[in-house]
Copies of this chain bind each other. A is one copy, B any other.
Amino acid sequence: MTTSPLPPSLVAPGGTVGILGGGQLGRMLTLAAAELGLKTHIYTPDSKSPAGQVANSVTQAGFEDEAALLQFAQSVDIVTYEFENIPLEVTSYLQNHVAILPDPQALAIAQDRLAEKTFLQQNGIATAPFAEVSADHSIEQAIEHIGCPAVLKTRRLGYDGKGQRVIRESKEAPGAWKSLAKAPALLEAFIDFGCEISVIAARGQDGAIACYDIAENIHANHILHQTFVPARVSNTIAQAALKTATDIIRKLNYVGVMGIEMFANLPGPDAPHLLMVNEIAPRVHNSGHWTSDACPVSQFEQHMRAICGWPLGSTTRTHNAVMTNLLGEEWRRWQTYAQTPNTSLHLYGKQDTRPGRKMGHVTQLLPLVE
């Protein structure tokens, strides 16, 4: 028997938000919830999760454990998630017992690059040209269609540059796909962009939409290194990016905070107008961490407000800011960061330091100047 998903309702102070996943995003959501008098219950397989340490309750169980999922669903007022690779069977099962926001259809789209790009294309939103690669859609056909250079990406489970191959010449294509174990993939035209920007957008249960200012991202080794705000793009591109984000979040009937990464160009006489959506993350996003220090309402509080049916908070920015991820051993320099003026230190309570692992971040605040 299939029942309709439960509709969301108001979660008042004292209510409990269930969060699927226990990483640093769940931790920061939990801390924001606590300031609002909301409780959190973390569901994670991890016995020492960053979020579980500070939440009111933790269920430590695998996502295949139906009994644990049922008990979790029955002990919370609403469910949300802090990472996108949650099996859709899990959300379908939970939806029989409790409301989930954002609607898991956003997960379905974000988990699959083909579904994501198709959704964007069907809604008139620019992306890099793309072609499917699978047993039925050959890499040779895709290369013919897209040209070189191009980037081959697995449809699922890619993050921080994992599951990607750059193809410079067509003859490299078969080998590239083979090296990805011939997993279902997408070939995307290589975009010669000037910068990557992101929009952190929020939509409330009442349909109100609020976006933070456009931020610009710097990657190193395919991992986000820094985000700074404001982005260096022209006002025209900034306005177009906000409109794009608003279109996406409205078309999805989305409730919560969403991170949207886009390719753009820096201003300049020779720069063509470029704005393409690269990726959608149906959750709070690393490129929005600066909002914790430079805005009255952080992306984490905003997400809680949205999914709990509260009015959205102000997205006004009170400072310019530079957020830098502390990857791997870098967090051990915490004493230096702690004494750097105008710099907020955030550490995630992770026990094991591994190369490239996000252990914390710092945000440097600068005077508000455009």
Contact present for B339 and A311 (CB under 8 Å): yes
**For residue A56, which residues in chain B have a CB less than 8 angstroms away from its CB?**
53-54
**For residue A311, which residues in chain B have a CB less than 8 angstroms away from its CB?**
335, 338-339
Contact present for A27 and B37 (CB under 8 Å): no
Closest to A52 in B: B56
**For residue A14, which residues in chain B have a CB less than 8 angstroms away from its CB?**
349, 351
1/0 per residue, CB under 8 A from B, across A164-195: the answer is 00000000000000000000000000000000
**For residue A305, which residues in chain B have a CB less than 8 angstroms away from its CB?**
338
Contact present for A35 and B347 (CB under 8 Å): yes
Contact present for A36 and B351 (CB under 8 Å): no
Contact present for B349 and A34 (CB under 8 Å): yes
Interface residues of A in 311-341 (CB under 8 A from B): 311, 313-314, 316, 318-319, 331, 334-335, 338-339, 341
Bound form: Cα–Cα A341–B311 in Å: 11
Interface residues on A, range: 35 or more
Which of A14, A37, A334, A346 has the most chain B CB within a 10 Å cutoff?
Answer: A37
Given contacts A347-B36, A349-B39, contact A313 B338 (CB under 8 A): yes
**For residue A313, which residues in chain B have a CB less than 8 angstroms away from its CB?**
338
Contact present for B34 and A296 (CB under 8 Å): no
- Cβ-based interface call for A141 (8 A): no
Contact present for B342 and A314 (CB under 8 Å): yes
1/0 per residue, CB under 8 A from B, across A251-273: the answer is 00000000000000000000000
- Cβ-based interface call for A214 (8 A): no
Bound form: Cα–Cα A30–B331 in Å: 21
1/0 per residue, CB under 8 A from B, across A297-316: the answer is 10000000100001101101
Bound form: Cα–Cα A35–B10 in Å: 28
Interface residues of A in 1-45 (CB under 8 A from B): 12-14, 27, 30-31, 34-37, 39
- Cβ-based interface call for A345 (8 A): yes
Q: From residue A307, how far is it (CB to closest CB) to chain B in Å? A: 14
Contact present for B13 and A334 (CB under 8 Å): yes
Bound form: Cα–Cα A318–B305 in Å: 25
Candidates B13, B319, B339, B348; contact of A331 at CB < 8 Å:
B13
Bound form: Cα–Cα A297–B338 in Å: 10
Closest to A343 in B: B296
**For residue A13, which residues in chain B have a CB less than 8 angstroms away from its CB?**
331, 334, 347, 349
User: Top 7 nearest A-B pairs by Cβ distance?
Assistant: A37-B347, A311-B339, A34-B54, A13-B347, A53-B56, A310-B338, A37-B349
Interface residues of A, Cβ cutoff 8 Å to B:
12-14, 27, 30-31, 34-37, 39, 53-56, 293, 296-297, 305, 310-311, 313-314, 316, 318-319, 331, 334-335, 338-339, 341-342, 344-349, 351, 360, 365
